[in-house]
C-alpha cells in the first residue's frame, strides 16, 4: 500500500507539472494474481538478523543461504520469488567505496545495436553477444510444448504444461544471467583501466517501438549501463553522463555538425568541413569525451596533438 501511494503521488505530480508522456512516471496498475510473482517488503522494524538468521515479522524464520556478508546495517529487506520458484532476500545496505589505483586514462562510451558499446579504445569494445538469438531454438520448442498442452479456460494446467512452462522460464533465466554476467565483467574491466568515463546518457525505451526492438532487447543496453554506473561509484571513478543529442552528426576533431541526420545504414562518418573520416560509432564515442570536458589525449588511439585537444582546452 505504501509503494502504491508513493508511485501514484509521483504520477500525479508529473501530470500536474505537464511533463511529456515519455518522461513522466506511469500510473500504477493492479496485476493479476497468476501473472505477478509474490513479494514482501519489510521495513527496519519488520525484520531482524540474529546469529546469522533472518527473523521476519510474525515469527517467520526462513532458511537463508547468504551469498556474501552485508557491508553494513541493512534498512529494508525485500523477499520475493522469481519465475523458477526460487525465493530471494534483497537487502538495502550502505555501499563501501573501494578505490582503485589511478591509470591516467579516460574513455568515451557510445551505446548501439550493432555493438552493445563502442568506445574510444578498441580493446574495450563490447560486441553484441546475441544470447537471446542463440537460445531462440530452445525457446521456440518450449513454446510449442506449452501451446500443445495449454489447458482450457478456467481449468488448471496439466503436469506436462507446468513442466514445459518451467523449462521455458529456466531458459529465459539463463539468458538473463548471461547478459548480466557479461555486462558486469565488461564494466569492471573498463572501470579498472580508466580514471574517468564519458558515458552516453542513452534511454533505450524508444527502441522497443522500432524495427530493432528484438535486437536491442537482446543487447540489454539499459542493464549494461546500470552495471557500469554502479561499478564506477563502487570504485570511486569519475563518470560523466553526456546528452546523446546530435552526437552522430557532430565531428569530434573540428566540432562541425552535418545539416541532416545520418541514416542507419551509413556506418562511416565523413566530415565535410575538415575531411576527417572515421567509424560512425567511434566518432560518437570521441564526441562524448569532448562534451564531457575530458582531455582526449588520455584516450586510446587519439594523437595528443589532435584538434580534439585544442577544442577541449
Q: Give the start-to-end residue ranges of the domains of the chain.
A: 1-30, 36-96, 106-129+176-312
Written as nine digits, the cell of 162 is: 507446468
Task: Give the CA angle between residues 241, 294, 230 to the nearest 5°.
Answer: 35
pLDDT digits (tens, 9 = 90+) for 46-104: 999 998 899 999 999 998 899 988 888 898 999 999 988 899 999 998 888 889 999 98
- At residue 171 the predicted structure's pLDDT band, cuts being 50, 70 and 90, is very high
d(CA 57, CA 278): 61
Q: Which CATH class is domain 106-129+176-312?
A: alpha beta
Q: Say whether pTM exceeds 0.85.
A: no
Scored b (16 or more CB within 10 A) or e, 118-144 reads: bbbbeebbbebbebbeebeeeeeebee
What is the pLDDT of the chain when averaged over all its residues?
86
pLDDT digits (tens, 9 = 90+) for 179-206: 999 999 999 999 999 999 999 988 877 7
Written as nine digits, the cell of 101 is: 589505483
pLDDT digits (tens, 9 = 90+) for 150-163: 999 888 889 999 99
Amino acid at each position: 500500500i505504501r509503494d502504491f501511494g508513493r508511485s501514484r503521488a509521483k504520477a500525479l505530480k508529473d501530470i500536474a507539472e505537464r511533463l511529456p508522456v515519455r518522461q513522466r512516471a506511469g500510473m500504477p496498475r493492479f496485476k493479476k494474481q497468476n501473472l505477478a510473482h509474490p513479494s514482501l517488503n519489510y521495513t527496519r522494524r519488520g525484520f531482524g538478523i540474529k546469529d546469522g538468521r533472518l527473523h521476519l515479522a510474525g515469527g517467520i524464520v526462513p532458511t537463508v543461504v547468504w551469498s556474501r556478508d552485508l557491508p553494513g546495517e541493512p534498512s529494508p529487506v525485500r523477499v520475493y520469488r522469481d519465475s523458477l520458484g526460487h525465493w530471494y532476500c534483497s537487502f538495502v545496505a550502505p555501499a563501501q567505496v573501494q578505490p582503485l589505483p589511478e591509470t591516467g586514462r579516460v574513455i568515451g562510451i557510445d551505446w548501439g545495436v550493432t555493438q552493445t558499446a563502442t568506445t574510444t579504445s578498441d580493446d574495450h569494445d563490447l560486441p553484441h553477444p546475441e544470447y537471446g538469438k542463440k537460445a531462440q531454438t530452445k525457446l521456440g520448442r518450449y513454446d510449442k510444448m506449452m501451446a500443445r498442452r495449454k489447458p482450457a479456460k478456467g481449468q488448471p494446467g496439466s503436469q506436462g504444461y507446468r513442466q514445459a512452462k518451467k523449462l521455458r522460464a529456466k531458459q529465459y533465466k539463463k539468458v538473463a544471467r548471461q547478459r548480466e554476467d557479461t555486462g558486469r565483467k565488461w564494466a569492471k574491466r573498463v572501470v579498472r583501466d580508466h580514471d574517468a568515463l564519458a558515458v552516453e546518457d542513452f534511454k533505450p525505451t524508444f527502441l522497443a517501438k522500432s524495427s530493432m526492438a528484438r535486437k536491442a532487447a537482446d543487447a540489454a543496453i539499459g542493464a549494461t549501463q546500470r552495471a557500469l554506473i554502479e561499478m564506477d561509484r563502487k570504485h570511486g571513478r569519475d563518470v560523466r553522463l553526456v546528452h546523446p543529442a546530435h552526437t552522430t552528426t557532430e565531428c569530434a576533431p573540428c566540432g562541425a555538425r552535418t545539416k541532416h541526420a545520418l541514416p542507419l545504414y551509413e556506418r562511416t562518418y565523413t566530415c565535410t568541413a575538415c575531411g576527417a573520416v572515421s567509424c560512425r560509432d567511434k566518432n560518437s564515442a570521441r564526441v562524448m569525451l569532448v562534451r564531457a570536458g575530458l582531455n582526449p589525449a588520455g584516450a586510446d588511439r587519439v594523437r595528443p596533438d589532435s584538434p580534439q585537444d585544442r577544442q577541449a582546452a
